[in-house]
Amino acid sequence: MMRIAVAGTGYVGLVAGVCFAEKGHDVTCVDVDEAKVKMMASGVTPIYEEGLQELMQKNNAAGRLHYTTDYREAYRDKDAIFIGVGTPEQPDGSANLSYIATVSRQIAESVERDCLVVVKSTVPVGTNDKVEQFIHDFLERDVKVEVASNPEFLAQGSAVHDTLHAARIIIGTESKEAEALLKKIYEPFGLPIVSVNRRSAEMIKYACNDFLALKISYMNDIANLCELVGADIDAVAEGMSYDARIGANFLKAGIGYGGSCFPKDTKALKYLANQHGYRLKTVEAAVDVNLAQKTRLYEKACQRMITFQGLKVAVLGLAFKPGTDDLREAPSLDNVELLLKGGARITAYDPVAAVNFEKRYPAGENGRGSIAYVNTPKEALTGANICFVFTEWQEIKEIAPGMFKELMKNPLVYDGRNVFDVQAMKDAGIEYYSIGR
């Protein structure tokens, strides 16, 4: 058993802390928000993630998981301190490292024994070098502190599973001692470990995320061309998926990627390249395609409709993907904003993310339009003039085509996730538009 502290209790930090405790380590999660700390101590997670609350409650009860706002006590005598705070995007595309800097200084002022500081947050290449120097600059005691890189590769909606059953663990270290300690921490996971230097580990994270973002944008670009030439993107993707060099994942066309990683990481790597006098043209293209893709269905609908003023618009799905309540860079945000400006009366359904969405767009009058939040897809569809699908939740996928015909005033559906079968919708008498089909 290792004694571990985790700075930050967002998607990265909290999931890591809970999973470390599940594997037998003694873990203290640190956050500045006292109310959040009390919530977690009571066994309630501040984020929605499948299986997370159950594991949290289990390890709380076992005494392996603790929460505090007292960073000095938390960092004082730990074997390893993991940094999992946010690195939000700045207006120029660069990563905001202020939270990393704050935690680094707190660690320097608190540690009373030799320890390893591990950066799990996604940071630009070279940041770990700066973190180590920064900590050394502010150390208050004669102790040895090394810094390692350990990027996360979890996907929101399956973060717990992705952590406990990862394809590989990436560790970036500059000494055999640091490498050995990280391997010991991850030994109970029984997963393959790829050990590289720090800068390579930092780059692996960006290279992976940006490659997947590029793959999504490529498929969306091909889908748009499929519409023009009469091909079916689903059939094209199936044919591609059998090629082992391409693989079957991330071939699904839609209205673009969102979330906390792909948008931020593509822009950050683009910024990093520019800072070194180099243009990553492929990454730039992925960013441009995704930006245009998000509102492609809205633009299609504008060609069909004279106006949205006073129309009842059903919106099915608000989260950027199923399995999470995260709205960061969700296509629903762009589209709802445009619909409200156009005077639409929106009825929105999402099984998890509606609470977060309502914080941004309160129920009632919004601009020229209005928005209401409902508890079932049926309520959203009843009397609607038009429907947009933005997230492929299972509850939405299970809607029978006939329900659109039965409930909507005008069975007009714009499906941004290619949830429904084209022929089945046609047979049900629905005017149906999707992506690349």
CA–CA distance, 361 with 160 (Å, rounded to integer): 30
Give the pLDDT of residue 156: 83
Sheet with 169-172, side-by-side order of all strands:
65-68, 26-30, 3-7, 80-83, 115-119, 145-149, 169-172, 193-196
Is residue 208 annotated as part of the catalytic site, yes or no?
no
Give the pLDDT of residue 366: 82
Give the pLDDT of residue 154: 86
* 351, 355, 359, 360: CA torsion to nearest 10: 0
Distance of CA 102 to the CA centre of its chain: 23
Give the pLDDT of residue 223: 98
Which CATH superfamily includes the segment(s) 204-293?
N-(1-d-carboxylethyl)-l-norvaline Dehydrogenase; domain 2 (1.10.1040.10)
- Report, at the CATH architecture level, how domain 3-196 is classified: 3-Layer(aba) Sandwich (3.40)
CA–CA distance, 5 with 117 (Å, rounded to integer): 10
What are the tokens at 367?
């601009």
Residue 218's φ and ψ, nearest 5 degrees, are -60, -45
Give the pLDDT of residue 166: 94
Q: Is the entire prediction scored with pTM above 0.85?
A: yes
Q: Active site residue: 29, 115, 226, 261, which one?
A: 261
CA–CA distance, 113 with 130 (Å, rounded to integer): 21
Identify the CATH number of the domain defined by range 296-433. 3.40.50.720
CB 217 within 8 A of CB 209: no
One fold for 3-196 and 204-293 = no
Give the pLDDT of residue 246: 97
Average pLDDT of each block of 10 consecutive residues along the chain (437 residues)? 95 95 97 95 92 96 97 96 93 91 97 97 95 96 97 89 95 98 98 98 96 97 97 97 96 93 92 95 96 96 96 97 93 97 98 96 91 98 98 97 97 98 97 97
Domain definitions of the chain by residue range: 3-196, 204-293, 296-433
